[in-house]
Amino acid sequence: MGSATDFIVRWILYAGLLLLTIKIFGGETGSWSALFNVVGYVFAVTMVYIAIDALLINMLSSLSFPLKAWSPVAGEEEIGLALWNQIIQDNWGTTLAYNLRYYLPFTVHAWTAALGTIALHFAREFTWKKAAAISVMAYIMLILLKALIPI
The 10s digit of each residue's pLDDT in 40-90 is 888 889 889 989 999 999 999 998 888 777 877 788 888 888 888 999 999
The pLDDT of residue 90 is: 93
Cα distances from 95 to residues 30, 73, 107, in angstroms, run 48, 31, 19
> What is the radius of gyration, based on Cα positions, of the chain?
20
Whether 61 contacts 92, CB under 8 Å: yes
Q: Over 90: is that where the pLDDT of 36 sits?
A: no
The pLDDT of residue 1 is: 54
Q: Over 80: is that where the pLDDT of 133 sits?
A: yes
Whether 83 contacts 69, CB under 8 Å: yes
The pLDDT of residue 79 is: 83
The pLDDT of residue 69 is: 76
